[in-house]
């Protein structure tokens, strides 16, 4: 099967590849054309996932398609951007029709859930590698960034932490669990839901934000550094799902929440005056700490005692402990 036949059969005809709002020209020409309204900015981010590094060799193709787009789209949520479309550069060891069909179906399912349009890409031969570039739009001057956290702000997260990290032994076939535990954990790993609506709701309210991919502590460190502040996290305030609490002892659950990674929920700082309004709209926001003067990220117990941070998350090309080793986060443009 040739490159163009592969694209036509599995991707160009997919529902997510059809024209939509903001997409003037999609698949079928040398470039895609996107339309922005006056006063909008284009948000762009790229993620690469490599077999054996970001997903296991035995990975189900449908689940991989879902996950690959979800983790890339989460970067748009982190910036408060509304989704427009995405490109896919797909490197394949061979053109396996069954694998391609399943992958395309998973990709399309997540694309439709996120209102994303497939607008182009490339295919090459080599070790299985996925590179997705996502595009979104945001009103000029309203994008959420990692800089801007203010002393006195609350540190919040947009949902339960640690589920994906807790699922990793199940993903790798190292352990088994009852369905009531395994199913919700695996769903958080294979089909994370980018918090696009929450990100847009935080425009004009959050002072800093990002999505949690490399672990809460590691990612909060980016906010602390960019904003030139310190973040204090209260361990007992970390939101843990019933499945994690049933599956793990408290210390292991906290470790997953603090450094496991792959949560793809938003972490953000916000002034106290905005919290009640956000919670009244039903957003699953948990306050886990505060912004103070200083540097770095610091952990405390419920009595206010400082705790050692033994694991700080996943680092590409570096030493790490306690993380999943499966994060796809990278700085855009690297």
Compute, in degrees rounded to 10, the torsion defined by CA atoms 317, 319, 321, 325: 10
Better pLDDT: 114 or 29: 114
* pLDDT value, residue 313: 57
Asked if the model's pLDDT at residue 3 lies above 70, the reply is no
Higher pLDDT, 284 or 8: 284
7 confidence band (pLDDT: 50, 70, 90): confident
pLDDT score for 319: 41
Q: Which residues of 255-277 are buried (b: 16+ CB within 10 A; e: fewer)?
A: bbbbbbbbbbbbbbbbeeebeee
Computed over every residue of the chain, the mean pLDDT equals: 90
- Between 6 and 283, the more confident residue is 283
Which listed CATH number (3.90.650.10, 3.10.129.10, 2.40.110.10, 3.40.190.290) goes with 154-307? 3.90.650.10
pLDDT at 333 over 80: no
Residue 85 has pLDDT above 50, yes or no: yes
pLDDT band at 325 (very low <50, low <70, confident <90, very high): very low
Per-domain residue ranges for the chain? 3-139, 154-307
Taking every pair of C-alpha atoms in the chain, what is the biggest distance, in angstroms?
Answer: 64
The residue-averaged pLDDT of 300-311 equals: 87
Give the whole-number percent of the chain exceeding pLDDT 70: 91
Tell me what the mean pLDDT of segment 6-24 comes to: 78
| CA–CA separation, 207 and 86 (whole Å) | 27
Report pLDDT for 312: 60
How much is the pLDDT for 2? 64
| pLDDT tens column, 217-272 | 999 999 999 999 999 999 999 999 999 999 999 999 999 999 998 999 999 999 99
| Bridge partner list, 88 | 121, 132
Q: Residues of 1-36 as b/e, b for ≥16 C-beta within 10 angstroms? A: eeeeebbebbbbebebbeeeebbeebbeeeebebee
Please identify, in words, the CATH class of the domain defined by 3-139.
alpha beta
Identify the pLDDT of residue 140: 97
């Amino acid at each position: 099967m040739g490159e163009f036949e592969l694209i036509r059969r599995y991707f160009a005809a997919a529902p997510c590849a059809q024209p939509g709002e903001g997409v003037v020209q999609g698949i079928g020409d040398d470039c895609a054309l996107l339309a922005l309204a006056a006063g909008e900015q284009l948000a762009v981010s790229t993620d690469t996932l490599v077999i054996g590094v970001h997903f296991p060799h035995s990975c189900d193709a449908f689940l991989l398609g879902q996950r690959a787009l979800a983790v890339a789209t989460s970067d748009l949520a982190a910036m408060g951007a509304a989704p427009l479309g995405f490109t896919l550069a797909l490197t394949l060891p061979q053109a396996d029709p069954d694998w391609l069909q399943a992958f395309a179906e998973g990709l399309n399912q997540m694309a439709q859930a996120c209102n994303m349009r497939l607008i182009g890409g490339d295919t090459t031969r080599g070790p299985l590698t996925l590179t997705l570039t996502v595009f979104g739009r945001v009103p000029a001057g309203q994008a959420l960034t990692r800089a801007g956290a203010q002393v006195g702000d609350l540190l919040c997260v947009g949902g339960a932490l640690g589920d994906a990290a807790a699922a990793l032994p199940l993903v790798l076939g190292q352990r088994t669990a009852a369905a009531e535990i395994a199913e919700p954990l695996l769903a958080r790993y294979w089909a994370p839901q980018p918090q696009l609506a929450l990100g847009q709701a935080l425009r004009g309210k959050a002072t800093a934000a990002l999505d949690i991919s490399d672990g809460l502590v590691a990612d909060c460190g980016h906010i602390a550094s960019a904003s030139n502040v310190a973040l204090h996290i209260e361990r007992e305030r970390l939101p843990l799902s019933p499945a994690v609490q049933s599956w793990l002892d408290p210390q292991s659950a906290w470790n997953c929440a603090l450094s496991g990674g792959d949560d793809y929920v938003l972490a953000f700082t916000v002034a106290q005056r905005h919290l009640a309004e956000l919670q009244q709209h039903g957003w699953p926001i948990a306050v886990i700490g505060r912004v103070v003067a200083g540097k770095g990220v610091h952990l405390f117990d419920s009595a206010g005692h400082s705790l050692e941070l033994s694991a700080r998350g996943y680092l590409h090309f570096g030493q790490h402990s306690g993380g999943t080793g499966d994060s796809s986060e990278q700085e855009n443009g690297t």
